[in-house]
Amino acid sequence: MLSPAHGGTDAIPGRGHKEPAKEPVAVGYGGAVSTVDADATAAGMHMLRRGGTAADAAIAAAAALGVTEPFSAGIGGGGFFVHYDADTGEVSTLDGRETAPAAATDQLFIDDETGEPLAFGEARVSGLSVGTPGTLQTWQDALDRWGRFSLGTTLRPATRLANRGFVVDETFRSQVAGNVDIFADFPASAELYLPDGAPPEVGTKLRNRDLAETYRLIAKHGTDAFYSGEIAEDIAATVQAPPVDEDADRVVRAGELGVDDLADYQVVERDPTLVDYDGLGVYGMGPPSSGGSTVGEALNILENVELSADDETSAMHHYLEASALAFADRNRYVGDPDIVDVPLAELLSQGFADERACELDPEQAAPKPVAPGSPDGEYVECGELGVTGEPDSAAGSTTHLTTADRWGNVASYTLTIEQTGGSGIVVPGRGFLLNNELTDFNFTPTQGDAPDPNLPGPGKRPRSSMSPTIALDDGEPFLALGSPGGATIITTVLQTLLNRLDLGMDLPDAVAAPRLSQLNNAATFVETEVIGTALATELEEFGHSLSDAGEIGAVTGIEFLGDGRMQAVAEPERRGGGSADVLFPARR
How far is the first Cα of the chain from the last one, in angstroms, to the nearest whole number?
47
pLDDT for the residue numbered 447: 74
Whose CA is closest to 342, among 423, 262, 285, 278? 285
Contact 44, 158 (CB under 8 A): no
- C-beta of residue 270 within 8 angstroms of C-beta of residue 286: yes
Among 142-151, 247-256, 579-588, the range with the most confident prediction by mean pLDDT is 142-151
Predicted pLDDT of residue 382: 58
CA gyration radius, the chain: 22
Q: Which of 8-17, 74-83, 335-344, 399-408 has the lowest mean pLDDT?
A: 8-17
580 in Cβ contact with 25 (< 8 Å): yes
CB atoms within 10 A of CB 412: 34
Helix (H) or strand (E) holding 583: strand 579-585
Q: Element (H or E) spanning 213, and its range?
A: helix 209-221
Q: How far is CA 436 from the centre of its chain?
A: 14
Q: What gap in Å lies between CA 409 and CA 406, rounded to an integer?
A: 8
Given this model, what pLDDT does residue 588 score?
Answer: 65
Average pLDDT over residues 265-292: 97
**Interval 113-129: pLDDT, tens:** 999 999 999 999 999 99
At residue 3, does pLDDT exceed 60? no
Q: How many CB atoms lie within 10 A of CB 276?
A: 13
Is the pLDDT at 387 greater than 50, yes or no?
Answer: no
Query: Residue 15 above 50 pLDDT?
Result: no
Predicted pLDDT of residue 151 = 98
Active-site residues: which are they?
398
pLDDT of 141? 98
Q: State what percent of residues in the chain have pLDDT above 90.
A: 89
pTM of the model: 0.94
Q: Quick one: DSSP state of residue 266?
A: -
pLDDT of residue 362: 94
